[in-house]
Every structure is written in C-alpha cells, then in structure tokens.
Chain A
Amino acid sequence: MRRVVITGTGLVTPMGCGTDISWSRLIGGESGIRRITNFEVDDLAAQIAGQLPRDPSAEGAYNPDDWMEPKEQRKVDPYIIYGVAAAELALRDAGWQPQTDADQIATGVLIGSGVGGLEGIVEAGYTLRDKGARRISPFFIPGRLINLISGHVSIRHKLRGPNHSVVTACSTGAHAIGDAARLIIWGDADVMVAGGAESPVSRIGLAGFAACKALSTSYNDRPGQASRPYDRDRDGFVMGEGAGVVVLEELEHARARGATILAEVVGYGLSGDAFHITAPAEDGDGAYRCMQMALNRAGVGVDEIDYINAHGTSTMADTIELAAVERLVGDAASKISMSSTKSATGHLLGAAGAIEAIFAALAIRDNVVPPTLNLDNPEVETPIDLVPKVARKRQVDIAVSNSFGFGGTNASLVLRRVDL
C-alpha cells in the first residue's frame, strides 16, 4: 500500500501567522485568547475570542495584504484568505511548487471549512432588503462557497489534481487530511494540500454559537483563563479564527525529491453518533469507535500511543471524550499524555482538526507535548497525564488527534514518526 507523509505545514492561528511562532508560543504556555476590540461586543454574551494577531509590530502578525491583493480580498469572506495563507505557507515549507504538467496534475487540494462565509452573507442580506436584488454582487456566491478555498489555492499554484472540500463542522480539518491521504493511497494524486480554515469571529457567529449555549461567557474579564478543558470551572468553548494546512505526499515521492518528512499519516477513523444535532452521545461510543477504527487501520496497539491531541473544547463533552479514551486504552492509560491545545488557541471549528494534527506532528518531531492551560482542578480523576499548564518533554513516536463535530460527526487521525 502507498504510504502518506506530511512534508509541509502552514499555521495561521491566534498564536501567530506561521508554524514556528504558533508552536513556540504554544509550548511556551501562552494563550492566544483576548477581548474582542474590533467590533461591538457589549450586547453579546461571549466577548472574547482567539483572533489572529494583527498589530503589525507584533512578531507573527497576520496581514491579509501579504496573501491576497486588496481588490481580491474585497470579494471573499476572511476564511478564504486564511486558507490561502496557510496553504502558501505549507507549500513553501514543503518546497513544492509544481511546474510541469505531470507534477501539477499529480497535486490536488482538499481544504474545508465548518461554517464558511458569515459576514458576507449578513451584508448581502442587508443589500437585498435595502437596495434590491439588482445590487447583489456577482462575487457574493463565489466569495462564500466553502470549496472556494480549494479553488483559490489551485488557481494560485496551478494545482490541477483532485479539487475537493469537506464540511463536517468541527471535524472538517481532520476529515480533510484523512480523505486527502486516501486519495494519495488510491493513486488519484501524489501530493495533496489539505486542511481547514474558519472565520467565525463576528457578531453573527458569536450570537449563533452563544444561542447554542456552547460558548464560555463567565470569563469575559479574564480572557486567558476562559478556555480550560477538563477543569471543573470550565463553562464553554472560546471561538477562534485561522487556518491549518498540510502538504501530504506519497512516501517515495517525498524521498525521491529529498523532502523533509515530519510524520506519517498511518490511521484514519470516522464515525457518527446518531444521537443529537449539537450534543455528543453521553456514552462516548462514537468517539470510541472512530479512535478504534483509526488505530486498527494504522495497525497500532493502544499501548503504543504516546500522545493524544484531544478534541477537548472546554465544555461538558471533555469528560465524555476522556471516558471514551480510558475505555479504549485500558491499562495503557498511565503512559499516555493527552492535552487540549484549544486551551491556548480557542476552538477554530473547521480549522481545528488540521491545526491540531499539525501540533501532534510537531510533538513527534520535537518529543514534547503541549500543555492544557488553566487546568487548575480537574473535574475527574484519571490515570492519563493531561499535561496541566506546562509542556512536557517526553518520547512521542505515535500521536492521535481527535475531532468531533455538530451533527455527531467524529474523526481520528493517527500519526507516526518516520525513521529515515
């Protein structure tokens, strides 16, 4: 069977624009969550978010002009720009810019988003009501379609292989990487640019998720403490924005061109809860089965798992996931580290699974596991190391990344160190 490896990463996160800055701040225990200042929040229940650092003087600042011409930015919702930026970073990191017909046709794109366009739809709604149908821009639809991230990336880099997208709420990024890996395994492509992007931090996005009772609302005056997975005082997730994109490549293709290999994608599992539109099944069975499927596919035993990047959103669902992991790993629990990096980044919805798979791959590269910030008082006791507050140096050869989304859609990825 063809093997698939990660040869490039692009992170655009609340920790910074770039993989190195996002990772070093994460390992340093910094939080990317702040009070929102660029739009009115006084009437919103949740007034904080993980927003991209935009102050140009800050290290790792995000400037959309670096990634898309201003006249093009006007035509799209921000998630498309975030995705274009992360894909550009990942392709640069991989050193892959296909020039020949054969290389361009062998390279595809599979980038998704959970929600896609929001602000542009609100604005067009006002235009339709106030000025009439003849004033709706021809860019309204192509600037909001979720698969247009993949479209823009393919156009910019002349990537003419499979062009696809995923929309599975908070599992989007993980499904995108898993499905893209399969396209490579089946020989439909040799290289895939895969991941997720999201721009939900807006009045309509915050109002909508708050109405689902999903968001943290008690920490508006202490933003850095708001995302606290497994802690007894957690009260909901903190929304984040950004994108994560990887370059996936067939192993021999990567070796032949001397690419730097970060990790191998060895397992992918998927399941459905068949339970509720927003709440996870209380028995955690969907989570359990998708992890189990991914491990079976990888041929990895539970006693080989070193690190789990949890879905861990800082909601009631954290303990359901934890119980599912305990059920899965049994006696191996005491040698596993499991943390939620959403404690630092917030929850980037459709981008989360891709960002967290990248963090899991970096944990393998550097033999260090990122911390779960703000874990002062774990709600439940567990033999699993939840990596409270401080990153931990430890051997990481096998890492699992979990993502669970609204609609009861679950995905797990298994990554493994590649010995060169």
Chain B
Amino acid sequence: MSDIADRVKKIVIEHLGVEEEKVTESASFIDDLGADSLDTVELVMAFEEEFGIEIPDDAADTILTVGDAVKFIEKAQA
C-alpha cells in the first residue's frame, strides 16, 4: 500500500473507530464502516487537512470508499 493509502487508512480508523482489517480499499464508509452523512463530511475535512488539498463538495460526493479517497488524493497531489 502506498504512503497515501496508509495515511488515509489511519484517519478512517481514528474517526470511525473501526478495526484496521475492515478498512480495505473497497470498503464503503457508510455501508461497511458505519459512517453517517456527518461522519463522511468530517472525513473529507480530515483528508483536506492531512494532505493540504481542497476537495470541492461535488468531488466529495463521489468519494464513497477508502479506494475513492486514495485515488482522489493521488490525483490531486500528482
């Protein structure tokens, strides 16, 4: 896993209080990791802070899984 993926995973574990093994690339924040809509807003904010990027609201709406987040951040930092 890339450095970005590790950092995303760490944020997800910390914010959602879930076990590490559940946080796979394909895990959906809402369906698999127990997040609600407010949790996902906070997660996106945490990604913005951690990676120094801005995630517009329409882009945030497409980030549904751990993998979505990693891909978006990799692209934003490229």
Contact = CB atoms under 8 A, between A and B. Distances in A.
Contact of B17 (A70, A131, A139, A142): A70
Nearest to B41: A138
Given A70-B17, A134-B48, A138-B38, 12 more contacts: A69-B17, A71-B15, A71-B16, A71-B17, A131-B49, A134-B45, A135-B45, A137-B42, A137-B45, A138-B41, A139-B42, A142-B38
Interface residues of A, number: 10
B15 A138 contact: no
Contacts, number: 18
B12 to A, nearest CB: 11
Which 5 residue pairs of A and B lie closest in terms of their CB atoms, listed nearest first?
A: A71-B17, A138-B38, A138-B41, A138-B42, A137-B42
B13 to A, nearest CB: 10
Q: How large is the interface on B (under 10, 10 to 19, 20 to 34, 35 or more residues)?
A: under 10
Interface of B is mostly: helix
Contacts of B42: 137-139
Nearest to B39: A138
Nearest to B13: A71
Interface in B3-39: 15-17, 38
A135 B38 contact: no
A360 B70 CA distance: 59
A134 B45 CA distance: 8
A142 B17 CA distance: 19
12 contacts: A69-B17, A71-B15, A71-B16, A131-B49, A134-B45, A134-B48, A135-B49, A137-B45, A138-B42, A139-B38, A139-B42, A142-B38
A369 B5 CA distance: 63
Interface in A64-82: 69-71
Interface string B34-78: 000010011001001100000000000000000000000000000
A138 B38 CA distance: 6
A89 B42 CA distance: 31
Contacts of B17: 69-71
